[in-house]
Amino acid sequence: MEQIREKLKNILQQVLDQDIDRLADEMTAADFPDWDSLAHLNIVVAIERAFKIRFAAAEISKLKQPGQNIGSFLGLIAQKSSLG
């Protein structure tokens, strides 16, 4: 899971154009000032490319809902990728 976390951290740093010291499971989009709807889509596309996976439309919209966090992203990536 740490390999997925590090890769996700790098993706977020690139898409959001900011340094991220740590990426904790409980963090949400609200913890990143530049994480808006457009950034969310760019993050999803970058994740799909980096991990060679595809998210369903329902999964993408669910990840943006309140209560969803980095841990949710990590779990879904692990479930869909060969790294999980």
Residue in 32, 38, 40, 36 with CA at minimum distance from that of residue 63: 40
Residue 26, domain extent? 2-80
pLDDT in tens, 13-66: 999 999 999 999 999 989 999 999 899 889 999 999 999 999 998 888 788 777
Query: Rounded to two decimals, what is the model's pTM?
Result: 0.89
Domain count, the chain: 1
- CATH code for the domain of 63: 1.10.1200.10
CA distance 24 to 26: 6
